[in-house]
Amino acid sequence: MPLDTGDTAFIIICTALVMLMTPGVGLFYGGMVRSKNVISMIAMAFISFAIVSIQWVTVGYTLSFGSDISGFIGGLDYLCLTGVGLDGDGIPDMLFMVFQLVFAGITLAILTSGVAGRIKLSSFMVFGVIWTTIVYDPLAHWAWGGGWAGELGALDFAGGTVVHISSGFGALALALVIGNRSGFGKYSMEAENITMTLLGGALLWFGWFGFNAGSALAADGLAVNALVVTNISAAAGALTWMAASWIKGKPSSLGLISGAVAGLVAITPASGFVGPMSAIVIGGFAGILCYSALLFRVRKGLDESLDAWAVHGMGGFWGAIATGIFASAAVGGVDGLIYGNTHQFLVQLIDASAAMIYAFVMTYVLATVIDKVMGLRVTDEEEYVGLDISQHGESTTA
Amino acid sequence: MPLDTGDTAFIIICTALVMLMTPGVGLFYGGMVRSKNVISMIAMAFISFAIVSIQWVTVGYTLSFGSDISGFIGGLDYLCLTGVGLDGDGIPDMLFMVFQLVFAGITLAILTSGVAGRIKLSSFMVFGVIWTTIVYDPLAHWAWGGGWAGELGALDFAGGTVVHISSGFGALALALVIGNRSGFGKYSMEAENITMTLLGGALLWFGWFGFNAGSALAADGLAVNALVVTNISAAAGALTWMAASWIKGKPSSLGLISGAVAGLVAITPASGFVGPMSAIVIGGFAGILCYSALLFRVRKGLDESLDAWAVHGMGGFWGAIATGIFASAAVGGVDGLIYGNTHQFLVQLIDASAAMIYAFVMTYVLATVIDKVMGLRVTDEEEYVGLDISQHGESTTA
Amino acid sequence: MPLDTGDTAFIIICTALVMLMTPGVGLFYGGMVRSKNVISMIAMAFISFAIVSIQWVTVGYTLSFGSDISGFIGGLDYLCLTGVGLDGDGIPDMLFMVFQLVFAGITLAILTSGVAGRIKLSSFMVFGVIWTTIVYDPLAHWAWGGGWAGELGALDFAGGTVVHISSGFGALALALVIGNRSGFGKYSMEAENITMTLLGGALLWFGWFGFNAGSALAADGLAVNALVVTNISAAAGALTWMAASWIKGKPSSLGLISGAVAGLVAITPASGFVGPMSAIVIGGFAGILCYSALLFRVRKGLDESLDAWAVHGMGGFWGAIATGIFASAAVGGVDGLIYGNTHQFLVQLIDASAAMIYAFVMTYVLATVIDKVMGLRVTDEEEYVGLDISQHGESTTA
Amino acid sequence: MKTVKAVIRPEKLEDVKAALEEKGYFAMTVTQVKGRGAQKGICLQYRGTQIKVDMIPKTEIEMVVGDEDVRPIIEIIRTSARTGKFGDGKIFVSPVEIIAAIRNDDEIVSE
Amino acid sequence: MKTVKAVIRPEKLEDVKAALEEKGYFAMTVTQVKGRGAQKGICLQYRGTQIKVDMIPKTEIEMVVGDEDVRPIIEIIRTSARTGKFGDGKIFVSPVEIIAAIRNDDEIVSE
Amino acid sequence: MKTVKAVIRPEKLEDVKAALEEKGYFAMTVTQVKGRGAQKGICLQYRGTQIKVDMIPKTEIEMVVGDEDVRPIIEIIRTSARTGKFGDGKIFVSPVEIIAAIRNDDEIVSE
Ligand SMILES: Nc1ncnc2c1ncn2[C@@H]1O[C@H](COP(=O)(O)OP(=O)(O)O)[C@@H](O)[C@H]1O
Ligand SMILES: Nc1ncnc2c1ncn2[C@@H]1O[C@H](COP(=O)(O)OP(=O)(O)O)[C@@H](O)[C@H]1O
Ligand SMILES: Nc1ncnc2c1ncn2[C@@H]1O[C@H](COP(=O)(O)OP(=O)(O)O)[C@@H](O)[C@H]1O
């Protein structure tokens, strides 16, 4: 198949949409911290994207998509993009490369949830480069690069395991290593700029269309299916989280937007495999599940500050399982549990669990090592004045 | 005609662009209320989008585009999207469905102008579901789904009547039923976050390219025409509103951006039918007309708070008429009044008037019923502390 | 070649992306001024876009792309878009027109850097119309409309000279004519809304994909190359500027985002001619060069307030030269200095210098004339209360 | 000299300013604050339970004036800021000993 | 009457409010401020050089109360706002001569 | 003890802080306010009509100090905040009776 201008146009624009999600994460997170850390959150999103951009074009892409080594990692065939051409099947190989780049970039940004308001910038940068190399790249290889999970038949349309389980459980591990923010649980750390979070959420919802529909790698019916179920799941998640929080008190806008993100996360692996009505169930349940996970996390006194674990980790896990439940051969060629395919359900369970354990353990070890070597956390004084001033020398209200 | 990747790519991305307009409306409106209601305005935009998303994929689409019943409404053929496929002519049927979904979503968001700072959230949600079902869906059917207006030959390229007249006059009716904000006219209720409104306006202008150009449903010359005239009309509206307000005092940035929106609204029904130079006239006049409508509204002491009526209602009405005046067979195959086609002009007038009356009356009745049944308005105390705290339990400055 | 739906879809969406960059510049700049001038900065971006939109469809396009007159300017063949059709080769001629329009719009917005917080709105509008006509239009003609620079073989893929050198050196000239802000150098004029600048930067990065990739005018391998190198250069610029500022103090987020913009500017002319690894060098060096230019500007006590000169002017100049150095026939058909083509290097030098001198001198003269005729600068009192109140009658904190 | 500090409803600021201006009182400093009075804020009925919203946004006006201006100013503020409902605010008067200009060396020192 | 003004850590506001409320002290006005104490702010070690961060965000509470309430309020604030580290803040007490309601004509004038 | 409250131009804050610091005066609380002086704000000529911009953003500095420090502080602020143009601001001095630390039980009570 020669290049197709429609497909190429589509994936270029989807790449742009997904790129915008990274600052979207920054704004989403930035609005939920105290104002002394808002610049830090947004800057970490940009920094994540910048360092992963360089990592990816040098070593990341080849480790993920180079020729398979033992089902675990890619070879160095594409080191520094050698051999990645401007032609290809349908879309240029180089376009596939950059579309994958923006996924790697946002994953690291999501992870900053676990260290909000207390990580040393320099340590974060070192951590980020290594994490992407030893956690993200293998996971991408497993699922999409010819690794064991893909071979096993695990389905992950747009990154439920690769992006969301990895960053969600990674954030959990990070939070455990770095410890709670000082004063956590003792005094209020409420969101100080909710409208910024809503704006970030809007950019996420928008960009997610590129994330999921673009994962079809062509402007075809499958992409359209992904688009439609993505939107439905987001809407359903927003409404159920809102409803659940309404029962307990007021329907906050933060609940609404968090529910939308939960729905978006959950549909991500499933979006090329399930139909619209299943999406209502997947997203609707995600809203309730992730909200419960959040409440559980708070009850446990664990400061995984911006709930990447509850939303991306648990939402991604549910999405992987849900793909095994609701997949319909009519959409993506594979049936799930409700059509009697228990095998697929088990494969999904294995894949999601493996990703979860790998991401959690590796992140925990890496964070611990970096903490020992260069210190992961700022000093008390620096934390007290906030990372904006202590790490960037800047402040929001001059 | 089989699927075309270029067209499919185009409409997927246009769908994303239009989706972004809904939070765009939220930000646009949110910046114009006092800061105690800003979360409420943005949240209502998201909620509009979420509930319409679910309404549309279950009943809305089929009521609008199911097989025609008496020219008034669609049948239930597509209930829960049964029979809406991933293939189609040029673009998948399912893509047409979701492109129409985002239009329905934003329409309800525009309507919140009339109830800013005083509506009960629960009542709004009930209202929203019913309004979309009994007002929006029939109007969409009339114009695009095989209903009487389309049969009559009424031209509405991208939703002048369906989206703008309906939401503008709907907002007027809502405002009349719910009543003015307490203290309206007595003390200042100035925009408290103009930069947020400007950002929202930017997203609207951006998304409107998808709204109008996408309405060609193909990436062709017609789409390009729509793109070009849309931009011209926005620019012209911005400049004339600004000029008009300059004569009366200072050229405010709110006037500038409102004028741009007025121009965008007015060109919406015309964008597939008129050429670039007509767009200067259409947009330029819209700026002045909508500004005058706003001044009239203020003089009448009517608190249609964020001027959906003045901008979308009057701008949409003008746009429908203007389509009948400036349409050129060279662009969209139909001539208008300036080319001697009085018939088309009259058809436009009938169509716009019917939409206006239908939207106004139905909204008025529906709002009144809901007011009787569950109460439309919050208590005085709730209004005084603001909807952010009273409806969402949140506040912008922690 | 008939119309191609993929290419057409692509350029329509790229046009939308570039459009969004103009308010992006407004937000980027708006966050860096004191809060009394923030509305003014954003409004000037919108106004730039609005007046250029009208200028372009009437005279600008034809002056740039009408049949060549002496290599200097285009003829009036396309006055008011006569003869610009909805068909064309690959993409409709009309689409090429509007894609060029959004470039002209943003260029004027960039220029407002030099007059931040002190220009009279009316004078700016007069200046803007004339500047676009006598500076931008000729430059666009030289490079892309059949003018001498294109004939000479100068390479400017997406507007390094036309957009960035012109606006950067134009801003310098403007700043010299209008003079420093009162109190400049004496008291702090720090950025008062850094998060807004970061948001603006995010929109710029996003839109720049459309700017550079779209300049291929087709959804092909060349567009993909532009996309990839654009992102790499932005990332490299962000990291080097940040590193350089880290050595001198703290790694500010403003440095990070300015570095990204520097990288984006520098790759602009080169993006269709160089490969990914060259992009690391081009962007990386741009970060350091533009940061040094900024420090130099500050040391000289020159209030080119928001560093259009340092970032766009110097970055654009470097990009033009770098194109002559790193161009690779494998990418865009032309070799540069590192492949032994000294000629191309010299051509680039001549072209960039000519654009620089033309833009600087013409802007200087024009600004001086307007200053004499109607006054360029507001009064001291107006400057003191800020342009938001004095020019727009508005304020950010009601 | 005295400083008259009034905590009022934000939406009444324009009225109060206008009323003061009319009687020739221009100089003032205004701050955005939040507050609660003895009524402990506002109670919203919510699903049976009451939700108390304390810390309502208020506007604080401070005017340093001669002793003889205190009474008239209090009356003007009362008239222009009153709605008669809880939350209208309070006026506090305290002593001031020196008023010094910055622009020049003008100074008033009380007795 | 006195005005008791306390500059505290922003994160302690909820605790202080709750503690005051418990003892029946509701009325207060709260302002967001920045400040530095005699310790000249916080010193961050940075690449060998010390960077001084002065102007730390603080919250100011102002309560106008009867003379007899001053001591108990000081104690409550001290207990609820203290961390024992630099930056805990200060309490200032000054005289107030008139408290006038706006809602009605209630007024208390000191001696 | 006294509280010295100065309303200055926001752009002069850094200068004033530096000047005070040099003489050993560190402790202060700073608030963003808006204000107008006896000049009724700034008049902008606009299409024949005059537009009055009152409520110009200002910065308020508050320092509680011993009686003997009042004069020197007034002079330092005057020197460092003066531009000689309208809008430079004012300094107000009022009595303070108690200064109590929160971090520990230190307290100064005036006579
Ligand atoms: N004793 C006080 N000390 C400080 N501030 C007070 C006091 N009493 C009232 N205020 C301020 O005045 C505002 C209005 O008070 P009041 O009219 O008593 O209102 P409410 O209806 O909330 O009781 C409060 O929000 C608070 O900011
Ligand atoms: N003498 C003073 N005058 C005005 N404000 C003061 C004074 N002393 C302390 N403050 C305020 O109290 C806050 C905390 O002061 P303190 O506990 O002394 O803190 P620090 O550790 O910064 O010295 C300061 O930030 C300042 O706002
Ligand atoms: N009598 C006063 N009471 C309260 N605040 C005052 C008084 N006089 C001046 N101010 C404050 O000081 C600021 C500057 O005052 P001034 O130098 O008189 O300025 P202007 O040029 O506006 O008259 C005012 O904006 C106001 O905040």
d(CA B346, CA C260): 55
The yes-or-no verdict on residue B251 having pLDDT over 60 is yes
Model confidence at E40, pLDDT cuts 50, 70, 90, reads low
Q: Is B193 helix (H, G, I), strand (E, B) or coil?
A: coil
Comparing alpha-carbon positions, the chain C residue that sits nearest to B15 is C13
CB contact under 8 A, A253 and B86: no
Q: Which residues contact B212 (CB under 8 A, 6 or more apart)?
A: B157, B158, B226, B227, B229, B230, B267, B268, B271, B272
Ligand 3 centroid distance, CA of F92 (Å): 11
Ligand 2 centroid distance, CA of A333 (Å): 68
Residue E27 beta carbon below 6 angstroms from any ligand 1 atom:
yes
Chain B residues with beta carbon closer than 8 angstroms to that of C60: none
Ligand 3 centroid distance, CA of F37 (Å): 3
Question: Cα distance from E41 to chain D (closest Cα, Å)?
Answer: 24
CA atoms within 13 A of residue C246's CA, in its CB half-sphere: 14
Q: Which helix (H) or strand (E) holds D63?
A: strand D56-65
The yes-or-no verdict on residue F47 having pLDDT over 50 is no
Take residue D47 and report the two structure tokens written for it: 């699903």
Model confidence at D47, pLDDT cuts 50, 70, 90, reads very low
Chain E residues with beta carbon closer than 8 angstroms to that of F27: 35-38, 90
Q: Which residues contact B335 (CB under 8 A, 6 or more apart)?
A: B327, B328, B329, B341, B344
Q: Per the domain annotation, does C350 fall within a domain?
A: yes
Question: Which backbone phi and psi does F101 adopt, to 5 degrees?
Answer: -75, 155
The yes-or-no verdict on residue D96 having pLDDT over 70 is yes
Alpha-carbon distances, residue B340 vs B335, B343, C335 (angstroms) = 8, 9, 59
**Which atom of ligand 1 is nearest the CA belonging to D37?**
23
Comparing alpha-carbon positions, the chain F residue that sits nearest to C383 is F44
d(CA C324, CA B97): 49
Task: Tell me if C13 sits within 8 A of C210, measured CB to CB.
Answer: yes
The yes-or-no verdict on residue A338 having pLDDT over 80 is yes
Closest CA to A49 of A72, A69, A21: A21
Question: N- to C-terminal Cα distance for chain B?
Answer: 57
Mean pLDDT of A376-394: 93
pLDDT at F48: 45
Give me the domains of chain F, ranges plus CATH numbers: 2-109 (3.30.70.120)
Residue F71 beta carbon below 6 angstroms from any ligand 3 atom:
no
Q: Per the domain annotation, does C398 fall within a domain?
A: no
CATH value at residue B370: 1.10.3430.10
The yes-or-no verdict on residue B298 having pLDDT over 50 is yes
| Mean of all residue pLDDT scores within chain F | 89
Question: Cα distance from E107 to chain F (closest Cα, Å)?
Answer: 22
Domain encompassing residue A253: 5-392
Task: Tell me if C212 sits within 8 A of C271, measured CB to CB.
Answer: yes
d(CA F111, CA F101): 18
Name the closest-CA residue to atom 14, ligand 1.
Answer: D89
Residue F87 beta carbon below 6 angstroms from any ligand 3 atom:
yes
Task: Tell me if C268 sits within 8 A of C160, measured CB to CB.
Answer: yes
Take residue A177 and report the two structure tokens written for it: 């290593």
Best residue for ligand 2 mutational test, from F2, F13, F29, F68 (most atoms within 8 Å of Cβ): F29
Digit-coded pLDDT (tens) for A286-309: 999 999 999 999 999 999 999 999
pLDDT at A45: 98
Best residue for ligand 2 mutational test, from E36, E42, E61 (most atoms within 8 Å of Cβ): E36
Task: Tell me if B293 sits within 8 A of B309, measured CB to CB.
Answer: yes
Question: Is the ipTM, as predicted for this complex, more than 0.90?
Answer: yes
Closest CA to C69 of C120, C145, C4, C126: C145
Residue D90 beta carbon below 6 angstroms from any ligand 1 atom:
yes
Chain E residues with beta carbon closer than 8 angstroms to that of F17: 54
pLDDT at D111: 65
Nearest-5° Cα angle at A99, A95 to A105: 140
Take residue B95 and report the two structure tokens written for it: 């893509």
The yes-or-no verdict on residue B383 having pLDDT over 90 is yes
Q: Which of C98-102, C348-352, E21-25, F59-63 has the lowest mean pLDDT?
A: E21-25
A393 Cβ under 8 Å from any chain C Cβ:
yes
Mean pLDDT of B379-384: 92
Domain count across chain A? 1
Digit-coded pLDDT (tens) for A90-102: 999 999 999 999 9
Question: N- to C-terminal Cα distance for chain F?
Answer: 9
Q: Per the domain annotation, does B219 fall within a domain?
A: yes
Task: Mutate one of A28, A124, A392 to test the C interface: name it (highest C CB count within 10 A).
Answer: A392
Residue F58 beta carbon below 6 angstroms from any ligand 3 atom:
yes
**Which atom of ligand 1 is nearest the CA belonging to D60?**
27
Question: Which backbone phi and psi does A181 adopt, to 5 degrees?
Answer: -65, 145
Sign of the CA dihedral running C152, C153, C158, C160: negative
pLDDT at C11: 98
CB contact under 8 A, A390 and E53: yes
Task: Tell me if A360 sits within 8 A of A172, measured CB to CB.
Answer: yes
Residue D39 beta carbon below 6 angstroms from any ligand 1 atom:
yes
Q: Report percent pLDDT > 90 for chain B.
A: 94
Name the closest-CA residue to atom 21, ligand 1.
Answer: D87
Question: Cα distance from D87 to chain E (closest Cα, Å)?
Answer: 8
Chain A residues with beta carbon closer than 8 angstroms to that of E56: 385
| Mean of all residue pLDDT scores within chain E | 89
Q: Where are the alpha helices (DSSP H) in B73-220?
A: 93-111, 121-131, 137-144, 148-152, 166-178, 194-213
Please report the beta strands in chain B, taking only residues with DSSP state E, as ranges in sequence order.
Answer: 68-69, 73-74
**Which atom of ligand 2 is nearest the CA belonging to F102?**
17
pLDDT at B281: 98
Q: Per the domain annotation, does C397 fall within a domain?
A: no
- Ligand 2, CB within 6 Å, residue ranges: E 7, 35-39, 41, 56, 58, 86-90; F 27-29, 62-64, 103
Over its C-alpha atoms, chain B yields an Rg (Å, rounded) of 20
pLDDT at F111: 65
Digit-coded pLDDT (tens) for B126-145: 999 999 999 999 999 999 99
pLDDT at E48: 45
A391 Cβ under 8 Å from any chain C Cβ:
yes
Q: Which helix (H) or strand (E) holds F100?
A: strand F98-101
Residue type, F35: G
CB contact under 8 A, D64 and F31: no
C266 Cβ under 8 Å from any chain A Cβ:
no
Q: Which helix (H) or strand (E) holds F78?
A: helix F70-81
Q: Per the domain annotation, does A10 fall within a domain?
A: yes
Task: Mutate one of A11, A27, A42 to test the C interface: name it (highest C CB count within 10 A).
Answer: A42
pLDDT tens digits, chain C, 398 residues: what are they?
A: 799 999 999 999 999 999 999 999 999 999 999 999 999 999 999 999 999 999 999 999 999 999 999 999 999 999 999 999 999 999 999 999 999 999 999 999 999 999 999 999 999 999 999 999 999 999 999 999 999 999 999 999 999 999 999 999 999 999 999 999 998 988 777 788 999 999 999 999 999 999 999 999 999 999 999 999 999 999 999 999 999 999 988 899 999 999 999 999 999 999 999 999 999 999 999 999 999 999 999 999 999 999 999 999 999 999 999 999 999 999 999 999 999 999 999 999 999 999 999 999 999 999 999 999 999 999 998 999 999 999 998 988 64
Residue D35 beta carbon below 6 angstroms from any ligand 1 atom:
yes
Mean pLDDT of B179-189: 87
The yes-or-no verdict on residue F46 having pLDDT over 80 is no
* C372: number of Cβ within 10 Å: 9
Mean pLDDT of B50-75: 98
Digit-coded pLDDT (tens) for B220-233: 999 999 999 999 99
Digit-coded pLDDT (tens) for A107-152: 999 999 999 999 999 999 999 999 999 999 999 999 999 999 999 9
pLDDT at C167: 98
Which residues of F have a CB under 8 Å from any CB of E? 3, 17, 21, 26-31, 64, 94-105
